[in-house]
Amino acid sequence: MKQARRLDNAPPYLFVEIEENIKRALAKGIDVINLGIGDPDLPTPGFIVDKMIEAVQNPQYHCYPEYDGSIEFRMAVTRFYKRRFNVDLDPETEVVALLGSKEGIAHMFFALVNDCDFTLVPDPQYPVYNLATALTGGVPYPMPLLERNQYLPDFSRIPKEVLRRSKIIFLNYPNNPTGTVASLDFYQDAVDFAIKNDIVICNDNAYSEFTYDGVVAPSILQAENAKEIAVEFHTLSKSYNMTGWRIGYAVGNQEAISKLKKMKNNIDSGVFTAVQTAGIVALDSGDQFIQGMRAVYQKRRESAMQCLEKLGWDFSVPKGAFYLWIKVPNGYTSKNFTSMLLEKAGVVVAPGNGYGEHGEGYIRVSLTIDEKRLEEAFQRIEALKI
């Protein structure tokens, strides 16, 4: 059976490949320690689960949900943004509920990008940005995230002919995979650049609540005039350990949100209202839980960095998210080093080249695993005497 041509440009999804590698290793009887996928290992907090149990028994929620999300959920989003970022949002026109931010991010490309349009995407990147560009027929223009630039894109290096044909700029801070946190000054420069060139700018802010060493992640919507051009994506997946629940939201520029709504309304039927009801409780009452999770990741980060220093490996100290971005030892590529760790140590990491050309020579280690197993993984690696 022939597939649609648009799929010819879509590579296998990185994390599906990782899961397949894990299955093969488990079939061989290998005790696998998975540091490859950023799926929180701790459960969704009880107060959210309890609200879901209550809500799912309400027959009013068993019918189709509102396409844009319930007004109660959208108002909870506005309360969170006001409390956390001091940003005011109109729940009717500047907020839309998503089936997780991944879905909304992909649909935003479909809402804005035509054949042969450029999209300005970071490299390395969350793979959905390139994938969605390919599926829409657009052309991804990579913005290198280099260590010497603190893993921030240099907008001045984008050619004018590319800018004229660009429809969307995507950012992701706190960054996956590098752990960099952008400043409000950077966001202001980005917003000014986007307004000047009439390009919608989107920030994937999934990790905003996980920062370290006194750093606090801003929202791009805190920048002056941001609502003229900017949209921000957020999710309850990471902050509240709700990856399987599939709920997130997009906020910001009214026109862009309207186009995203139009796209979604013709593709999906919205988020299950019971899940939204649980999400309201998370947004309104989850701040203390987030503080506790931040402390967990901080401790794991310190433990992992101590192990890496003992190994003598070169890595970036993450100020946000829950990943470590590590250079592979001399003589290895990202892919063959990743394969070797799985084969000889039973340790799964994500190859940096899976995040883009500028990810080659790196691996990403996730901190979403118990500290004892995290330390065991590094002990196994140390025993290889690389």
The identity of residue 142, as a single letter, is P
Task: Give the count of domains, the chain.
Answer: 2
Residue 99 is part of a domain; what is its CATH number?
A: 3.40.640.10
**Residue 249 corresponds to which amino acid?**
Y
55 occurs within a structural domain:
no
Is residue 202, in this structure, part of any structural domain at all?
yes
Q: How far apart are CA 38 and CA 36, in angstroms?
A: 7
Let me know whether 137 and 93 are in one domain.
yes
For the packed helices 101-112 and 128-136, what is the interaxial angle rounded to 10 degrees? Answer: 30
3-state secondary structure of 105: helix
Residues 293 and 279 in one domain: no
Task: Write phi, then psi, for 74 (nearest 5 degrees).
Answer: -65, -35
Same domain, 143 and 233: yes
Same domain, 187 and 203: yes
pLDDT 10s per residue in the chain (386 long)?
Answer: 988 888 887 767 676 777 887 788 778 887 889 999 899 999 999 999 999 999 999 999 999 999 999 999 999 999 999 999 999 999 999 999 999 999 999 999 999 999 999 999 999 999 999 999 999 999 999 999 999 999 999 999 999 999 999 999 999 999 999 999 999 999 999 999 999 999 999 999 999 999 999 999 999 999 999 999 999 999 999 999 999 999 999 999 999 999 999 999 999 999 999 999 999 999 999 999 999 999 999 999 999 999 999 999 999 999 999 999 999 999 999 999 999 999 899 999 999 999 999 999 999 999 999 999 999 999 999 999 88
Final residue of a structural domain among 285, 311, 345: 285
> How many C-beta atoms lie closer than 10 Å to residue 19's C-beta?
15
Based on the domain organization, do 29 and 82 belong to the same domain?
A: no
CATH number, position 324? 3.90.1150.10
Residue 23 included in any domain: yes
Distance (Å, whole) CA 134 – CA 125? 14
Residues 329 and 200 in one domain: no
* Residue 116 structural domain: 62-285
The answer to whether residue 349 is domain-embedded is yes
pTM: 0.95
Residues 15 and 104 in one domain: no
193 and 80, same structural domain?
yes
